[in-house]
């Protein structure tokens, strides 16, 4: 019998996405209970949506989403920011897998 294989290693980009997600959740803790719940809900829905809709090989679009997310995270970390609003961006079929 061989040694049991450990969990799959995450790519650098996957680590960045998880780090961004955790950053949003940490930043939400500094807001009021109501705003915290709203932020957590919006962030969770946005990440889930992108995980389902964005082709994992579309690195350029994923990098764009990471940059946009980091800007939004910086805004949330600002003590003057009280909450987060959901932004729906409809892009052309660029982010869909080719089949």
43 within a domain of the structure (yes/no): yes
74 within a domain of the structure (yes/no): yes
**% of the chain surpassing 90 pLDDT:** 64
41 within a domain of the structure (yes/no): yes
Number of domains in the chain: 1
Residue 99 is predicted with a pLDDT of: 45
Whether the pTM exceeds 0.85: the reply is no
Q: How confident is the model at residue 81 (pLDDT cuts 50, 70, 90)?
A: confident
Is the per-residue pLDDT at 62 higher than 90?
yes
47 within a domain of the structure (yes/no): yes
**Can you give the residue range of the structural domain that contains 58?**
12-78
67 within a domain of the structure (yes/no): yes
38 within a domain of the structure (yes/no): yes
88 within a domain of the structure (yes/no): no
Q: How many CB atoms lie within 10 A of CB 22?
A: 10
């Amino acid at each position: 019998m061989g040694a049991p294989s450990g969990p799959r290693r995450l790519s650098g980009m996957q680590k960045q996405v998880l780090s961004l997600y955790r950053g949003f959740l940490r930043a939400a803790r500094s807001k009021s209970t109501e705003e915290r719940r709203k932020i957590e809900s919006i962030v969770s829905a946005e990440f889930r949506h992108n995980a389902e809709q964005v082709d994992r090989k579309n690195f350029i679009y994923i990098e764009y989403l990471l940059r946009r997310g980091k800007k939004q995270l910086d805004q949330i970390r600002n003590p003057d920011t009280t909450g987060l609003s959901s932004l729906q961006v409809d892009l052309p079929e660029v982010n869909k897998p080719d089949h």
